[in-house]
Amino acid sequence: MILLFYLAGAVALIATISVIVSTNVVHALVYLIISLLAVAVIFFVLGAPFAAMLEAIVYAGAIMVLFLFVMMMLNLGQATEDEEKAWLRPQLWVGPGLLILVLLVQLVNVLVTQQVDVVPVEVGVRELSVLLFGPWLLAVELASMLLLAGLIAAYHLAKK
Amino acid sequence: MPSIPYEHGLILAAILFVCGLIGVLTRRNIVFILMSLEIMLNACGLAFVVGSARWGHADGQIMFLMILTLAAAEVAVGLGLIIQMYRRFHTVDISVLSEMKG
C-alpha cells in the first residue's frame, strides 16, 4: 500500500511537471489526465474510494474531454507550438520559479515538524452520502446552484 | 493496513500546487493557464482528502466534492471565455487582452 502511494505520487509529480513545460496543448492534456489518474490512485490508497472514482470519472473523464473538445474546435496548429517555444525562455520563468520554491521549502519545513502516521480508515459511499444529505444538505444545494450558473454562463459565453 | 505518513501526502499536495502556480505565473497561452488552475484545484482537493484520512472523518471528502463541482463550473466558464477570445482575436495569447478598455 505504502509503495503504491509513493509510486503514484511520483507519477503525479512527473506528469504535472510535464504539463507545465509542454508546448503542445494536446500532449499537455494527456499528461494532465495521467496526473489526475495518479491522484485518484492516491485517494484510493488513503481510504477514499468514492473520491477516487469521482476523480477518475469527473476530472479525468468529463472535464478533460471538455478541454479536448475545445482544443479540437480551436484547432491550434504548429504556429501556436512555435510561439509557445519562443515564450518559454528561461529568463521568464526562473525568477518566479525560484521565489515560489522558497515558499515551498518553508511550507515543507512546517509540515515535516508534525509527524503523524495515518492508518487509513476507509470511508465508504454509504457514510459519505448520509453526511451529504444530512448536515451538508445546504452545501449540496449551493453546489447545484453553482453548476446551474456555470451552465448558463458557458452557454451565453460560447454563443456566437 | 500499514500506515502512511500523512505529512508526505500534504507535501505532495503542496508540490503539485506550486507546479500549478508556476504554470499560471509563467505561461502566456490561456489554455495552459486554465490547465494550471485545474492542477491547483486538484492539489487542494488532495490536501482535503489527506486531512480526511488523517482525522478518519468524511468531511474532507465532502469538501473535495465541492471542489470538484467548483472545478467543473470554472472549466465550463473558462472554456467559453477561451472560445469567445479566439473568435475575436484569433489567438490564445493573453497579452492581447491588455488592450481592453472597460
Going along chain B from its start, the domains and CATH numbers come out as 10-90 (1.10.287.3510)
> What ipTM goes with this model?
0.90
CA dihedral A129, A133, A135, A136 (to 10 degrees): 90
**pLDDT higher than 80, residue A119:** no
Domain that holds residue A137: 124-160
Query: Per the structure block, which three cell numbers stand in for A143?
Result: 453546489
Cell 453553482 found at: A146
Same domain assignment for residues A76 and A132: no
Is B11 in Cβ contact with A111 (below 8 Å)?
A: yes
pLDDT of residue A126: 87
Dihedrals phi, psi of A136, to nearest 5 degrees: -100, 20
User: Do A103 and A129 sit in the same domain of this protein?
Assistant: no
**In a domain? residue A114:** no
Burial class (CB in 10 A: 0-12, 13-18, 19+), A92: middle
* Higher per-residue confidence, B57 vs A54: A54
pLDDT at A90: 78
Residue A119 lies in a domain: no
Residues A100 and A136 in one domain: no
| Domain co-membership, A51 together with A87 | yes
Q: Same domain, yes or no, for A3 and A72?
A: yes
The conformation of residue B29, written as its DSSP 8-state character, comes to B
Whole-angstrom distance, CA of residue B4 vs CA of residue A7: 13
Among partner residues B2, B80, B92, which is closest to A154 by beta-carbon distance? B80
User: pLDDT class for A107, splitting at 50, 70, 90?
Assistant: confident
Whether the predicted pLDDT of A26 surpasses 70: yes
| A103 shares its domain with A141 | no
Strands (E), B14-74: none
C-alpha cell at A35: 496526473
Number of domains present in the structure of chain A: 2
Considering the domain architecture, whether residues A155 and A102 belong to the same structural domain is answered as no
Domain assignment of residue A118, yes or no: no
Q: Are residues A36 and A95 in the same domain?
A: yes
Written as tens digits, the pLDDT of chain B (102 aa) is: 567 777 888 899 999 999 999 999 888 889 999 999 999 999 999 999 998 888 888 888 999 999 999 999 999 999 999 998 888 888 888 888 887 766
Whether A65 and A38 map to the same domain: the answer is yes
Average pLDDT score over residue span A6-26 = 92
Q: What is the pLDDT of residue B2?
A: 61
* Same domain for A17 and A75: yes
Query: A141 and A62, same structural domain?
Result: no
Buried b (16+ CB within 10 A) or exposed e, A118-154: bebeebeeeebeebbeeebeeeeeebeebeeebeebb
Is A100 in the same domain as A145?
no
User: What CATH number is associated with residue A12?
Assistant: 1.20.120.1200
Residue A118's φ and ψ, nearest 5 degrees, are -105, 125
Q: Which residues of B touch A117 (CB under 8 A)?
A: 3-6
SS3 (DSSP) at A14: helix
Look at residue A19 and tell me whether its pLDDT is greater than 80: yes
Judged by a CB distance cut-off of 8 A, whether residue A34 touches chain B is no
By C-alpha distance, which of A56, A37, A40 is closest to A48? Answer: A40
**pLDDT the model gives residue A8:** 93
Interface of B with A in 51-80 (CB under 8 A): 52-54, 56-59, 61-62, 64-66, 68-77, 79-80
* A113 assigned to some structural domain: no
Q: What is the pLDDT of residue B6?
A: 79
